[in-house]
Amino acid sequence: MKYNKFIINSEVIFDMNSCEVKSVTIESSENIILNVPTARCLQLLLECQGRVVSREDFLLQVWNARGIVVSQNTFYQNISLLRKSLKKAGLSVEIIITVRRKGFTISTDTKIERLEEELDLPVINSQYSSTNPPSIADNTENKIGFRKNLGAPFNSLLEHVQPSSLKATYIPAWVKMILAALIIVDVMSFIINYF
């Protein structure tokens, strides 16, 4: 497994797997745990350093790709929370720059160092154990490989289920909207014709 971390300006380290930011230099500092969407926003900005990331790109890659629709207000709250968390973790300068009417970017004078370490962690009864979570970026498919003791009736059912049959299907938001509109039209035509 690749264990990914970013060191920002030699002051703060961002651990993608645990969604934590913490000071590199101050050992007594607390670890700031980001919520998952905020961590994904930071990851996207760091991976796109040197480019402006539009609001639409954030919404698409952080939320919509996972079937979640959020308001612009939620998006801006996550960016604000991210800025505050980086400052609280010990970052001395503001690195997230607002590019008016275009989006956000990482400041050009920000030094980003990416660490990738191969860790050999044991996996117990699961593809992902609690000590070995999936990468934030590795979300192309929903991989479920669990076998928990759920009681005799449920365990016998799980024996017949193959993990490949448990994959989630991604349905784009626009398809959901069209299906909802078609259902509404169908219900309305039924009501008009039969009442």
Q: Do the beta carbons of residue 108 and residue 34 sit within 8 Å?
A: no
pLDDT of residue 28: 64
> What dihedral do alpha carbons 115, 118, 121, 123 form, nearest 10°?
110
Residue 150, domain member (yes or no) = no
For 79, the token pair is 């960016």
Distances, alpha carbon 104 to alpha carbons 83, 84, 137, 147, in Å = 12, 16, 19, 42
Of residues 66, 62, 93, 91, the one with CA closest to residue 79: 62
Domain that holds residue 59: 2-116
Residue 24, domain member (yes or no) = yes
> What dihedral do alpha carbons 60, 61, 67, 72 form, nearest 10°?
-50
Residue 167, domain member (yes or no) = no
Residue 60, domain member (yes or no) = yes
Residue 164, domain member (yes or no) = no
Q: In 62-151, where does DSSP find H-type helix?
A: 72-89
Residue 109, domain member (yes or no) = yes
Spatial CB neighbours of 46, under 8 Å, sequence gap ≥ 6: 6, 8, 14, 106, 112, 114
pLDDT of residue 128: 42
pLDDT of residue 145: 43
Residue 57, domain member (yes or no) = yes
For 25, the token pair is 């230099």
Distances, alpha carbon 72 to alpha carbons 37, 91, 155, in Å = 13, 26, 43
pLDDT of residue 79: 94
| C-alpha span between 170 and 64 (Å, rounded) | 10
Radius of gyration of the chain (CA): 21
Q: Do the beta carbons of residue 118 and residue 2 sit within 8 Å?
A: yes
pLDDT tens string, the chain, 195 residues long: the values are: 455 889 999 999 999 889 999 988 877 677 899 999 999 999 999 999 889 999 999 999 999 988 999 999 999 999 999 999 999 998 889 999 999 999 999 999 999 988 876 554 444 444 444 444 444 444 444 444 444 444 444 445 445 544 444 455 677 888 888 989 999 988 888 888 887
| C-alpha span between 45 and 96 (Å, rounded) | 8
CATH code of residue 100: 1.10.10.10
Residue 123, domain member (yes or no) = no
For 180, the token pair is 């909802």
* Number of domains comprising the chain: 1
pLDDT of residue 169: 64
